[in-house]
Amino acid sequence: MKKFKLVLCDNDGTLVDDERVLTPRAKRAIERLHEEGYLFGIASGRTYDDLSAYPGKWGLDFDFDVYVCLNGAQLYDGLEGKLYNYNFLKPDKLKEIIETTKDLDYVATQIIVDDKYYFNRVDDRVRESISRNNRHKIAIMDIEKFYEKEAPKILLRVPEERMADLEAFVAAHPIEGVEGFKTQPVCFEFMAAGTDKTVAMKLFCEKHGIALDEVISFGDTTNDNGMLRDSYGVCMINGSDDTKAVAREITEYSNNEDGWARYVEKHLLGE
């Protein structure tokens, strides 16, 4: 396989296992990519505030070269040390999303404002997320306050068995200028139309003279589709059907079987 310059990876369902753990094998693969001179980055729905802690948490002694955050609404360019925000939802669109979905009693609504996480209510799914992610900037507030300021996205937490119901509801109630998509089996996100991981990926590449065919990207679900389509995309075998359809390749092993690390060892590191 040709030599790529940039390796860009989704996190949940791709780089880490279902317990959100980076395995020793995956850590070693990241270190080897760094040693071989590849640029490396994460592309996630999480904020830069969250993602910037990962290298230290994972025991790496170097920072990542790029962070595509908030599904492309935020970019941290590690080569120049700058953070960029793009295409946030305006208060009127936030209000329209809230009003459209407010009667769905099976969802819990989350919004990020100024790197703080706000919820309209806390149920078992929210408590589990708070505990798993070790959130330290949490608040509960009235739903009406969700649209006082612009924000990058609104996230709905939903039981996995109701995700299809939510997707059907959103398809039947389109909101002009807003796109909604599944980001995890239990997470559905609304963002400003045109916001996509591929947008931030392209901006980074243009700034640093990297051709898109010199980027290899990895993902597992719908919010990765643009990124995988516009680069040399590899979908995890545990990924969703729509994401597999746009990928160049599918891994032999899942994220719970070191599928990402095995692919990198074989095709990029020649091990």
The domain limits of the chain are 6-86+195-267, 91-192
Mean pLDDT in residue range 70-82: 95
Mean pLDDT, residues 137-163: 80
Q: What is the pLDDT of residue 145?
A: 73
pLDDT value at position 122? 64
What secondary structure does DSSP assign to the chain, as a single string?
-PPPSEEEEEIIIIIS-TTSPPPHHHHHHHHHHHHTT-EEEEE-SS-HHHHTTHHHHTT-SS--SEEEEGGGTEEEETTTTEEEE--PBPHHHHHHHHHHHTT-TT-EEEEEETTEEEES---HHHHHHHHHHT--SEEE--GGGGGSS-BS-EEEE--GGGHHHHHHHHHHS--TTEEEEEEETTEEEEEETT--HHHHHHHHHHHTT--GGGEEEEE-SGGGHHHHHHTEEEE-TTS-HHHHHH-SEE-SS-GGGTHHHHHHHHHTS--
Q: Does domain 91-192 have CATH number 3.40.50.720?
A: no
Identify the band that residue 212 occupies on the pLDDT scale cut at 50, 70 and 90. Answer: very high
> What's the pLDDT at 131?
61
Task: Give the pLDDT confidence score for residue 111 in this predicted structure.
Answer: 81
- Which region among 134-143, 161-170, 188-197, 251-260 has the lowest average model confidence (pLDDT)? 134-143
Question: 1-5, 99-103, 116-120, 197-201: which has the minimum mean pLDDT?
Answer: 116-120
Q: Which of 123-127, 136-140, 174-178, 182-186 has the lowest mean pLDDT?
A: 136-140
| pLDDT of 127 above 80 | no
Judge contact between 178 and 195, C-beta under 8 A. Answer: no
> Model confidence at 40, in pLDDT bands (50, 70, 90)?
very high
pLDDT at position 176 over 80 = yes
pLDDT of residue 141: 59
CATH code that applies to domain 6-86+195-267: 3.40.50.1000
pLDDT, residue 1, reads 54
Residue 183 has pLDDT above 90, yes or no: no
pLDDT greater at residue 157 or residue 230: 230
| Number of residues in the chain | 271
Q: What's the mean per-residue pLDDT of the chain?
A: 90
Distance CA 17, CA 66 (A): 21
pLDDT for 135 equals 53
Q: Does residue 3 register a pLDDT over 90?
A: no
Give 83 or 183, the one with higher predicted confidence.
83
